[in-house]
């Protein structure tokens, strides 16, 4: 299983002060040394963390493949084509969200995505679509010519957190999930099954399968059992642990768990 380390949050910390420290570029060699297989960054339309200068330097200097997440906004796609990362992962993006909530609606934006995939492929950039674990979305992702799908594990991670930690005490608690534990357990099983069925279906169709969002050192274990998933992209939990143990050690710990 490959590990993509999402380093956006290093830039989040830098932007808290609007200075030049910490520099996400410094994470590249440490991530490689700790056994990461890929660097993942998200160039958001509002450039709230990773900016164009980061993107350019990261793609130029990374010894690991760079997976560049971006929206389907045409101007952003121009920028992505000009930097030519190894892969672009198309994600939905809303200004007001804290992080990417939900997968890309491949049905609604089918025509736009067709055109974007053509542009990315003309620039020899592999294309992944960040989608909910939903069979219809998988079928459409295959039809539209994506190389890979990344299954959104956010719902699974939220239910897991409601069951086993105190997510209900956070500002981002999800009201619908404030159910009795017995019901939450069923919902957790249901959410894993959805991911598993989706991964199997995607692989059967010939798509590569990644997964990500909300994965941490505890909840990743269930996802590791799904053999069709070949790559995980993980950010928040690794950077959170880095504050206490250091970035290299936090990446290495996740690497060892995944192995």
> What residues make contact with ligand PXP under the rule CB under 6 A?
6, 8, 42, 69, 89, 91, 99-100, 130, 150, 212-215, 233-237
Residues 39, 58 contacting (CB under 8 angstroms): yes
Residue 111 phi, psi dihedral angles, 5° rounding: -65, -40
What's the closest the beta carbon of residue 19 comes to ligand PXP, in angstroms? 23
The nearest distance, CB 198 to ligand PXP, in angstroms, is: 15
Task: List for the chain the helix, strand, coil content (%; round to 5).
Answer: 50, 15, 35
Task: Considering the complex, state which of residue 173 and residue 236 has its C-beta at the smaller distance from ligand PXP.
Answer: 236
Q: Is the dihedral of CA 80, 82, 84, 85 positive or negative?
A: negative
Report the residue number, 188 or 239, with the smaller CB distance to ligand PXP: 239
Which one, of 164, 229, 165, 163, lies nearest residue 200 by Cα?
A: 229
Tokens of 103: 């997968």
Name the minimum Å distance from CB 41 to ligand PXP: 9
Known catalytic residues are 42, 69, 213
Residue closer to ligand PXP by CB (options 83, 130) is: 130
């Amino acid at each position: 299983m490959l590990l993509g380390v999402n380093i956006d949050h290093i830039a989040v910390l830098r932007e808290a002060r609007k200075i030049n420290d910490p520099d996400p570029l410094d994470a590249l060699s440490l991530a490689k040394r700790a056994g990461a297989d890929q660097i993942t960054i998200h160039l958001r339309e509002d450039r709230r963390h990773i900016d164009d200068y980061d993107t350019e330097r990261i793609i130029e200097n990374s010894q690991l493949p760079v997976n560049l997440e971006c929206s389907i906004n045409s101007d952003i796609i121009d920028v992505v084509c000009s930097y030519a990362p190894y892969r672009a992962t198309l994600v939905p993006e809303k200004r007001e969200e804290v992080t990417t909530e939900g997968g890309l609606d491949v049905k609604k934006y089918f025509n736009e995505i067709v055109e974007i995939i053509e542009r990315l492929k003309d620039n020899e950039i592999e294309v992944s679509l960040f989608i909910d674990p939903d069979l219809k979305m998988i079928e459409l992702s295959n039809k539209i010519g994506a190389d890979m799908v990344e299954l959104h594990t956010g719902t699974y991670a939220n239910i897991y957190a409601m069951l086993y930690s105190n997510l209900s005490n956070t500002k981002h608690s999800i009201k619908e999930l404030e159910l009795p534990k017995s019901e939450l357990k069923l919902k957790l099983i249901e959410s894993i099954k959805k991911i598993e069925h989706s991964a199997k279906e995607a692989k059967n169709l010939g798509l590569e399968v990644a997964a990500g969002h909300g994965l941490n050192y505890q909840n990743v274990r269930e996802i590791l059992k799904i053999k069709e998933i070949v790559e995980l992209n993980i950010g928040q939990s690794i950077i959170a642990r880095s504050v206490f143990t250091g970035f290299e050690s936090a990446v290495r710990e996740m690497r060892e768990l995944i192995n």
